[in-house]
Amino acid sequence: MTKGNQKNPVTGAKMQQVATSNLLKGEKISFDDDATKPKASDEELNSRYAKGEIRIVTEQARYPLAGILGMLQEEKEGENGKKELRYKLDPEYQRRHRWSVERKSRLIESFLMNVPVPPVFLYERDLARFEVMDGRQRLTALSDFYGDKFALTGLQYWSDLDGRTYSKLPSKVRDGIDRRYISSIILLKETATSEEQAAMLKKMVFERLNSGGVKLGSQETRNAVYGGLLNTLCLALSEDEKFRRMWGIPLDPSPEGKEADEEIDDEVDEPTAAGKRMFEKMEDVELVLRFFAYRQIDEFKAGLNKISEFLDKFIVRGNNFPSTLLEEYRTMFQSTISFLWDVLGAEAFMVLGFSKRPTKIVYDPLMFVANSADVIPHRAKLIAKKVILRSELEAMYKAKHDLFSGRRTNFVDTQNRNRCVSEAFAAAIVKTKK
């Protein structure tokens, strides 16, 4: 980046160098665009197809319902000698809008009546070791039912069975459901030649499986097929209380709900409808991932126009980052959120002076600049004189309101937003020294 030689029309100060992300050791990744590669010839395409390149390898299986509970509890010895489940129902796969008891009951009623139930899809992560790609809710419902964890509720045709658990069913009814099966389609290990290719193929299959049902959000899909250390970290960091309050997300989204901690109880904000929807679609987790990925936005020339592709590529590679780097990520995110909370409060990600709704267009550059080497040494002074930074940001948003409207997402606009926020911080830092 080069320094400007003009004055900032908002602050009157000389234009500053745009904040840089100061990438950590081992963090930099490549975002090569396949679109720049020449198209393959017919001969090359025929050769690739004949070799079976990018072809899904599957087999089918049927599981008796009576054996589901035991199947999901079965353990095998892993490579490290420790016991691990043969069928992985990773909690990270769980969508946040879980099945109600009524929906679980309707699934059981479908089996009672022999109504066709879609197959579950499994991925063979290692030989004879599987993870559930699609159908976790169905398998969990069956396991819970056979474990007597819920009583049937709201049945349409077998309402006389309402209130009964599996063990309390009449013997013939119990025998009838025990003889039913659920089908599965298994993507075999030989489908992919590398972990990265496996992740991409799993995502493609998962998206197509779900295209006919409730449309999944980008992060829900990402969460289901790109499990790993970075994904786990993003899930954990999304629970930060200050972060949730900035976005209007319930502090405890569970039905029981807990009160906010005493240390911030004097400023508790009500969760918003938009915040609740964000939680359900896992957009809060995506926001954490955006913060880490955006540090390398300079290398992705599509800007935010292809944000899903950008995040997909980042998390595939980021899941292989060493634990030491991920711990630095944890500290980086938490300290940046804490700083912005202390200096701007719950309105941090709003277009100050214009909007009362947090937006990603503000979040991206604000988090990027607040975490830069140009700002970190001055955080304490900016907090002490937070009125100054707020005033500089408000003036900048007023002068550049169209740039932060949310409609401008190309690479140049992204860089311009970074520059504008960087200049506002620089002007505030100068004034805090007076």
In a domain, 370, yes or no: yes
Average pLDDT over residues 309-335: 95
Same domain, 233 and 361: yes
Output the CA–CA distances (angstroms, integers) from residue 94 to 140, 256, 289, in the order listed.
10, 19, 18
What total of structural domains would you count in the chain? 2
227-259, pLDDT tens digit by residue? Answer: 789 999 999 999 999 999 999 998 876 644 444
- Whether this prediction's pTM lies above 0.95 is answered by no
283-316, pLDDT tens digit by residue? Answer: 999 999 999 999 999 988 888 888 998 999 999 9
pLDDT of residue 90: 67
Same domain, 142 and 178: yes
Per residue, what are the HEC states of the chain? CCCCCCECCCCCCECCCCCCCCCCCCCCCCCCCHHHCCCCCHHHHHHHHHCCCCCCCEEEEEEEHHHHHHHHHCEEECCCCCEEECEECCHHHCCCCCCCHHHHHHHHHHHHCCCCCCCEEEEEEECCEEEEEECHHHHHHHHHHHCCCCCCCCCCCCHHHCCCCHHHCCHHHHHHHHCCEEEEEEECHHHCCCHHHHHHHHHHHHHHHHHHCCCCCHHHHHHHHCCCHHHHHHHHHCCCHHHHHHHCCCCCCCCCCCCCCHHHHHHCCCCCHHHHHHHHCCHHHHHHHHHHHHCCHHHCCCCCCCHHHHHHHHHHHHCCCCHHHHHHHHHHHHHHHHHHHHHHHHHCCCCCCCCCCCCHHHHHHHHHHHCCCCCHHHHHHHHHCHHHHHHHHHHHHHHCHHHHCCCCCCHHHHHHHHHHHHHHHHHHHHHHCC
Same domain, 293 and 242: yes
pLDDT of residue 21: 67
Q: Which residues touch 295 (CB under 8 Å, ≥6 apart)?
A: 21, 23, 27, 368, 371
In a domain, 29, yes or no: no
Average pLDDT over residues 75-80: 80
Q: Are 233 and 330 in contact (CB under 8 A)?
A: yes
Same domain, 263 and 410: yes
pLDDT of residue 220: 82
pLDDT of residue 124: 85
332-349, pLDDT tens digit by residue? Answer: 999 999 999 999 999 999
In a domain, 44, yes or no: no
- Out of 170, 187, 204, a domain closes at 187
Q: Given pLDDT bands bounded at 50, 70 and 90, which one contains residue 105?
A: very high
Domain membership of residue 181 as a residue range: 58-187
Same domain, 158 and 245: no
In a domain, 71, yes or no: yes
Same domain, 172 and 226: no
- Out of 187, 203, 222, a domain closes at 187
Same domain, 163 and 310: no
Backbone angles phi, psi at 84, to 5 degrees: -140, 155
369-391, pLDDT tens digit by residue? Answer: 999 999 999 999 999 999 999 99
Same domain, 218 and 164: no
Same domain, 302 and 257: yes
pLDDT of residue 4: 42
In a domain, 385, yes or no: yes
pLDDT of residue 326: 97
Average pLDDT over residues 51-58: 68
Average pLDDT over residues 410-414: 92
pLDDT of residue 99: 85
